Every structure is written in structure tokens, then in C-alpha cells.
Amino acid sequence: MCKKILAGNWKMNTTIEQGISLVAALIAGEKEIPAHVQVVVVPPFTHLHIVHQYLKNHGIMIGAQNCAAHAKGAYTGEVSAEMLASVSCQYVIIGHSERREYYGENAQILNQKLAQALRVGLTPIFCVGERLEEREAGSYFAVIASQLRETVAMLNPSDFSKVVIAYEPVWAIGTGKTATAEQAQEVHAFIRKTLAESFGILAAQTSILYGGSCKPSNAAELFAQNDIDGGLIGGASLSAEDFLAIARAF
């Protein structure tokens, strides 16, 4: 059975004070989180250390939104995977569509980031997903297959077994427009089938999360699908009430 994961990607939101209040509210509601669900908060880099201080005696884990493609050195403004591990991060999002789109992250860069994350024991949450025009043109399967084949499909099986996949249709991110449960399930099943071509049975154990305007009102239907093993939540993760309601939807 795949691990059930609910990750909250705060993106570039919250001051330290706001971030601490959000974490405190999650801790206060932690007992509402079903025992089989691993909740992960993914704050901005600046918040990771203090958020860890709050969460260290709790079951909620922490992740980062990005990591550098290099191990260390003269890369001004970058944060390495090793630095993230040193503040007790366990997860790192790699290949979010906002990174691909606004920062030109291509397969080559993403492969370097995957290697860095895996080298220090971080669990990558690797994102794939099509744009609106690709959905409308019906080319989304081809787009997602190539996003996988150029990156995670090239890992060795042992590294691959540590990776979590997130399907995030770009047209659903932050737009309020969610993929229907059927649309999401169709792509999740396709992702699992594509990964099985490279990794066989391991693909059955890969957690595949859905992301894109997931909220309390649609989470239960999405999580009830066979191949949806959790969520990568943006906007709704900024409200402890909504995020906990999504956790209860498992």
C-alpha cells in the first residue's frame, strides 16, 4: 500500500510570526489528523529552522520548496540539499510548475536537484503536470510521460523508491479550478503505468499526490480515487482550519 501524504506548500507566503501561528494551530489540531496520513508542512526557507523547533516532538514533518542543483560553493542565493537536511527537513519539492515556468528549470536542472536531494536523504516530491493548452489539445499524456521519462524514470530503482510524485495540472493551480476526481484519477493511473514501465512493481508503492485547488470541499472525492495517495496543497494550506479539514478527508 502507498503511504498517504498531505503536504502544504506555503509558497512565498507568511512572515515568521504568521508562520509560527499557522504551525501552532496545526499542532493544536494534530489529533484530528488520521493516524495513517503523514502531514508535511513546506514553509519558505527562512522559516524552516524555527518551524522544526515547534514540530520536533510532533508527528508533522517539514519540507522545503526547492533546493540547489549543486552541492555547495559559490552559488549566491541558493540553498543546498545538505543545508535543508541540517535543519531536519525530510522532504523537498522538485520541479514545481512555478519553478519550471518562472525560473527556467528544465529536465537537466531537475535531475541535478533530484540527485542532490537523494544524496542527503531528502524525499523528493517531484511535480509533473500539463498546461491548459496541452490539456485542451489532448496532448497531456504525452507531456506527462516525457516529464517522467526525462527525469525520475532515469533514476536507479533504489533511488526511485524514495521519490513521491505530485500530479499538478498547471491550469488548476491557484485558479480555483480543480481537476475532477475522474480527470485526476485518469492521469494518476497513467503516471503509475508509465513508472511501471521502468520500475515494475515499485510503481505500485509510489505515493502519487494530487495538487491544484484542492480544498475541504473536494478533497474527500479526490482522495477516494484508487491512484490518488494524497495531496500537495497550496492556497488551502495557509489556513490551519482548511488544511486540517483536508487531512480529515482521507
Q: Which of 4, 6, 9, 23 binds ligand PGA (CB under 6 A)?
A: 9
Query: Which of these segments, 31-39, 55-63, 71-79, 206-214, binds ligand PGA (CB under 6 A)?
Result: 206-214
Q: What is the C-alpha to C-alpha distance for residues 147 and 127, in angstroms, rounded to an integer?
A: 9
Query: Which of these segments, 24-32, 130-138, 155-163, 209-217, binds ligand PGA (CB under 6 A)?
Result: 209-217
Which residue is it, cell 508503492?
205
Q: What is the C-alpha to C-alpha distance for residues 166 and 17, in angstroms, rounded to an integer?
A: 29
Note if 96 is an active site residue: yes
Query: Which of these segments, 47-55, 193-201, 216-224, 230-238, binds ligand PGA (CB under 6 A)?
Result: 230-238
Non-local CB neighbours of 100 within 8 Å, separated by 6+ positions: 106
Cβ-based neighbour number of residue 58 at 10 Å: 13
Amino acid at 25: A
Angle separating helix axes 181-199 and 140-149, nearest 10 degrees: 40
Cell of 45: 526557507
| Residue with smaller CB distance to ligand PGA, 172 or 199 | 172
Q: What is the C-alpha to C-alpha distance for residues 41 and 44, in angstroms, rounded to an integer?
A: 10
Helices (H) and strands (E) in the chain, counts: 11, 8
Query: Which of these segments, 27-35, 83-91, 185-193, 212-220, binds ligand PGA (CB under 6 A)?
Result: 212-220
Q: Could you tell me the smallest distance in angstroms from the CB atom of residue 165 to ligand PGA?
A: 13
Non-local CB neighbours of 220 within 8 Å, separated by 6+ positions: 249
208 binds ligand PGA (CB under 6 A): no
14 binds ligand PGA (CB under 6 A): no
Q: Could you tell me the smallest distance in angstroms from the CB atom of residue 117 to ligand PGA?
A: 17
234 binds ligand PGA (CB under 6 A): yes
Q: What is the per-residue binding string for ligand PGA in 83-122, x denoting contact by CB under 6 A?
A: ----------------------------------------
| Residue with smaller CB distance to ligand PGA, 105 or 168 | 168
CA 133 from chain centre, in angstroms, equals: 23
Q: What is the C-alpha to C-alpha distance for residues 155 and 123, in angstroms, rounded to an integer?
A: 14
Q: Could you tell me the smallest distance in angstroms from the CB atom of residue 33 to ligand PGA?
A: 18
63 binds ligand PGA (CB under 6 A): no
Note if 188 is an active site residue: no
Applying CB under 6 A, which residues contact ligand PGA? 9, 168, 173-174, 211-214, 232-236
Residues with a catalytic annotation lie at: 96, 168
